[in-house]
Amino acid sequence: MVRSQPARVPTLRSVDHVAFTVPVLADAVAFFVDHFGGELVYEDGPFADSASDGMYRRLHVDPKAVCRIAMVRVGRHMNIELFEYDAPEQAPAPPRNSDIGGHHLAFYVDDIDLSYEYVQSIPGVEVMEGPNGVDDRAPVAGQRWFYFRTPWGMQMELTTCSTGGFYEGLPGSRMAPPADRWR
């Protein structure tokens, strides 16, 4: 019997959300709602604390920053928090995957070829080469995937695995399987 390590943070139960900063909040919300079946949970702001350094102390952003936020639920359980900031000396270019802080958001699909065609049709999206496969000896044998960039430059990925066994056989490394349905 394999014993799991207890969580180190007291009472830790799950991931609540992932967050991304976007240049135009309404456009990003529309992208996730229109193309990924997202549901807008809420929008809020603008928030500012120009009278003190509260924005810096709470969020590690310029004290003069102003932000608006939205929460979008995709699928049954995934929450994506989107931030739009207006801040002095804000870097306008998103990080590349190879940059410190680089990232991507990946979604599982059943038909990678059909999904590739659909994503290619979304205005402003830059689709990278694909769909790609992996070596049959890889821990993710059977996986196919491709990356794309949203109209504002955020890296995303669509992936599938015909064998259904992401990381199969690696001790303690099984990925959570895709849900049986999106909603």
Enter the pTM of the model: 0.87
Say which residues have a Cβ less than 8 Å from residue 18's Cβ, sequence separation at least 6.
78, 79, 80, 81, 105
Pick the range with the lowest mean pLDDT from 10-14, 41-45, 99-103, 155-159. Answer: 10-14
Q: Is the pLDDT of residue 138 over 90?
A: no
**DSSP H helices in the chain:** 25-36, 54-59, 112-120
Q: Is the pLDDT of residue 48 over 90?
A: no
Q: HEC profile for 78-98?
A: EEEEEEEEECCCCCCCCCCCC
Q: Is the pLDDT of residue 169 over 60?
A: no
Q: Is the pLDDT of residue 156 over 60?
A: yes
Distance separating alpha carbons of residues 67 and 89, to the nearest angstrom: 14
Q: What is the pLDDT of residues 65-88, one digit of tens each?
A: 999 999 999 988 899 999 999 999
Q: Is the pLDDT of residue 37 over 60?
A: yes
Asked if residue 68 lies in contact with residue 44, where contact means CB atoms within 8 angstroms, the answer is yes
Greatest C-alpha distance within the chain: 59
Distance separating alpha carbons of residues 174 and 111, to the nearest angstrom: 22
Mean pLDDT of 42-57: 87
Give the residue extent of every domain in the chain: 15-87, 98-177
Asked if residue 72 lies in contact with residue 38, where contact means CB atoms within 8 angstroms, the answer is yes
Domain made up of 98-177: CATH architecture: Roll (3.10)
Pick the range with the lowest mean pLDDT from 4-8, 91-95, 165-169. Answer: 165-169
